[in-house]
Structure formats: C-alpha cells, structure tokens
Amino acid sequence: MTSSPLPRRVALISVHTSPLAQPGTGDAGGMNVYVWQTAIRLARRGIEVEIFTRATSSSDAPSVAAAPGVTVRHVIAGPFEGLDKRDLPAQLCAFTAGVLRAEAAQAPGHYDVIHSHYWLSGQVGWLARDRWGVPLVHTAHTLAAVKNAALAEGDTAEPQLRVIGEQQVVGEADRLVANTETEAAELLSMYDADADRIDVVTPGADLECYTPGSSAEARSVLGLDPDETIVTFVGRIQPLKAPDLLVAAIAPLIKEVGSGRKLRLLIVGGPSGSGLQRPTALMDQVAELGISESVTFLPPQPSDRLVQVYRASDLVAVPSHSESFGLVAIEAQACGTPVIAADVGGLGVAVDDGRTGVLVNGHVPGDWTNALEKLLAQPDRLAELGRNARRHAEKFSWEHTVDQLIESYRWAMESFAAQTDAAHRDAEQAAAQTPGGPARARRRWRRRRNRVTV
C-alpha cells in the first residue's frame, strides 16, 4: 500500500462543531482537537485540507485560511444560533447543498478523499461520495448504541434517528476508522460492519505542547494553593462525562477530619449536551455537599493554559460513562500527571492500569472514594505513576495518527478505483449485448466521471 500515491486534497466534514471552537463547552470537545490536529499535520505532509463545518455566527467568514494548507469553510445551514445538535438532522439538506456548491465551483476531481467525522457528517459525506466519485472514510468518534448501553442517570438516550443514520453510514463508507480495537469490535457487534473495511487508528496528543513542568509555577499562574493536593476534572459538564460522580466520591475525603491533607477539586469545563438543561447542577451539588470552599471551577482553557492545569494537578480524573478514547487522559499523562479513569471504551488503552494510573470498574461513588483515598495516601506511588505517564503518552503522537490515516486514505482510494473499474467493465459488457451499446456506454461513463447532469 505504501506505493500508492498520497491524496492531493482531502475534504474533511465536521457538521456540528468547528475545529476552531474552544474545546470543553457546547458541542466542542475531543473531536475538535482530533480534526484540527490531524488537518494541520496532513497539510505538513503536502496534502491540502478543506474542512466543511456549519456557520454558527454571522461573523463567520465563508472561507478561512486557518493554517498553511488548511482551509475552513463555514457553510450556512439554518439559523446561526439556537440550534442544538439534535436539531441538525433537519439542516443536513442545506448543509449538503453548500458543500456540493463549493465543490462545483472547482475543476472536476478537486478532492481525492472525503473524511467525515460523526454520523451527521457521514450522511453528508455519503451523498458527496456518490456525487464526486471519490471514496468516503468515516470516523464515528462516538456511537449511539454504545452510549445508550451505558447511559448515565438523568441523561437522555440517543434517538433512533441517530442509530439508523449511523447504520447507514457504516454500510456506505469505503473505510471506517475506529479509535481502538474495542470500538472496532463495537462496530462489528452492534452495527454489523464489514471487518475488512475497518482501520484502527489511535488518536494522540500534542506532545510538543503537553509536557512535564513545574507544578509550583503552574499553580502560581492559575492562582492555586501550592500546598494543597489537587484532583482535576477536565471536560464538558454533562452526565455522560460523570463530573457529578467525582464530586460525590471526593466529598467524604475533603470533609475527612484529621487527615492532615488539604484537598481541592478543580473542575475545568462548561455545560454541554443534556447538562445545558441544568447548567448549575454541579455547583448546586457541591453546595449541597458542603464542599464549596474546596472546589474551584474554571471555564474551558486554551491549550497553553490547559497544560498548566495538568501540571498543577496531582491526579486527573476521567470518570466518563462512555469514551471512545479519552484525549484528556493522554494529555494529562503527557504532562507527567497520573490518571484515575473509568474502565470503559478506549480508556483502557489511554491509561496503562497500575503503571500510569488506575482504572476503576463501574460508577459506584463509594468505589471511587476508596480508589481516590488509596492513591492520594501514597504520594510516592503518585510520583512513580507520573514518571511512567509521560513515557506511555509518547506512544500516542498525532504524527503517528496521521501516518495511519494516510494508509487508510490510500486503501480507500485503491479499493474505490478497483470497484469503479469493475463497474465500468460490467457496464461495457452489458452494453455490448445491444446495438450501439458500447458507444452509448462510453458516453454514459464519461458523463458519470465528469459529473455532468443531462
């Protein structure tokens, strides 16, 4: 496969969230990081990248040169503001029209590959694939069937509309990119995917940005006490991410009398998803448990500040009910900070249990309290886990991710070309059975390849 040519230009589709948005609030999260980090690295390899995303402000320019070789195209589809992610299926027709018009303004064959992110984008990519005559590579990032099987208390199940939409995209995509072997197995068992079309491509972290550094300096930058033990949650505040579990689990340890430990919980993020229905719910829980003075809330942080958050922390907690991978876990470990995480989805890959952190089975607050207490009582072990954490994180670079993605693109291009050639031969053979058929078939084939409507 390495002999196959690189794609010249890739269309990345990310309907519901822009890679330019700040992760940690609204619908912006790990997928934003993934799209942006892979896009800029693809461009550095000489592959031009155009990212299509929905415009969410009247100030969004139709086209933004976001980085060398990377263009972000804001497609108008529905009102700029006030649309929830669940409202977006009704806007897919408008969004798709915008994508197709952008391509129609170019010379034929402008894109070599389409890479769609999340099921909404997969629906758009599916149509564009057939219209442009190029292969579709799809990354789900999360799967409705998986989320519904591990639904958090008080959370809302993913609608059947999404389950069906995902099934359609799984059936149509030329290649499916899974974050881990676990996700690949879920595609097989829950969506009856074709195993031969699945590529496992592990996400990474920006290892140049997220590096170990002085905890004291980081705490000074963030205004945190240098003498406290700090446990940190980073992510969108919604039931799926389970920050409420962490609050309930750490409360007894904060209130513990005579422990000699000053313990602080740092929560970095903003309301998202079903968490928007009760945006102050986590603060209310903290107040009801009587630990407000020991809990600090920070808004979502840009990467140059987020690295200080990780360095300032003694332990980062990822208690999610479902995670396809867990970028926060890798970023924290890249900074030399150990992680305590739920043993779900890709977190078993992101965290080396017992060496760089601890995995907790289930979401019972008492179990998390015990696991936290045991870890925090052993500062020497925490330090050892932190030293191992950076070495583990170095296995997960975005460069390695892009290496694997390019191979997936090449497989898609090669198999799509083979299928196209086979279809051409079949059409010519069928046409040969009728008078004037071969010439008519050639004309029909040229029209199809040039995408001319007649």
Q: Is 280 annotated as a binding residue?
A: no
Q: Is 29 annotated as a binding residue?
A: yes
CA distance 112 to 118: 20
Q: Is 22 annotated as a binding residue?
A: yes
Q: Is 323 annotated as a binding residue?
A: yes
Q: End-to-end CA distance of the chain, in Å? A: 37
Instruction: Evaluate whether 295 touches 285 at the Cβ level (below 8 Å).
Output: no
Q: Is 30 annotated as a binding residue?
A: yes
Q: 344, 165, 370, 87: which is closest to 250 by C-alpha?
A: 370
Instruction: Evaluate whether 342 touches 233 at the Cβ level (below 8 Å).
Output: no
Q: 316, 318, 326: which is closest to 346 by C-alpha?
A: 326
Q: Is 219 annotated as a binding residue?
A: no
Q: Is 236 annotated as a binding residue?
A: yes
Q: Is 191 annotated as a binding residue?
A: no
Burial 202-236 (b: 16+ CB within 10 A, else e): bbbbbbeebebeebeebbeebebeeebbbbbbbbb
Q: Is 162 annotated as a binding residue?
A: yes
Instruction: Evaluate whether 247 touches 162 at the Cβ level (below 8 Å).
Output: no
Q: Is 32 annotated as a binding residue?
A: yes
Map tokens 């009910």 to a residue: 321
Q: Is 142 annotated as a binding residue?
A: yes
Q: Is 436 annotated as a binding residue?
A: no
Instruction: Give how far Cα 428 sits from Cα of 22, 151, 201, 449, Å.
Output: 52, 52, 38, 15
Q: Is 53 annotated as a binding residue?
A: no
Q: Is 259 annotated as a binding residue?
A: no
Instruction: Evaluate whether 49 touches 27 at the Cβ level (below 8 Å).
Output: no
Q: Is 203 annotated as a binding residue?
A: no
Strand 315-318 with 339-342, pairing:
parallel
CA distance 273 to 84: 8
Q: Is 27 annotated as a binding residue?
A: yes
Q: 165, 168, 191: which is closest to 178 by C-alpha?
A: 191
Q: 372, 361, 306, 362: which is closest to 335 by C-alpha?
A: 306
Q: Is 310 annotated as a binding residue?
A: yes
Instruction: Give how far Cα 265 sits from Cα of 230, 232, 253, 258, Å.
Output: 6, 6, 11, 19
Q: Is 186 annotated as a binding residue?
A: no
CA distance 264 to 242: 18
User: Which residue(s) pair with 296 in the sheet?
Assistant: 266
Q: Is 361 annotated as a binding residue?
A: no
Q: Is 407 annotated as a binding residue?
A: no
- State the binding site for Mg(2+): 310-311, 313, 337
Binding-site residues for 1D-myo-inositol 3-phosphate, in ranges, read 16, 27-32, 85, 118, 142, 162
Annotated binding residues for UDP-N-acetyl-alpha-D-glucosamine, written as ranges, equal 22-23, 30, 236, 241, 301, 323, 331
Question: Which residue ranges make up the annotated binding site?
Answer: 16, 22-23, 27-32, 85, 118, 142, 162, 236, 241, 301, 310-311, 313, 323, 331, 337
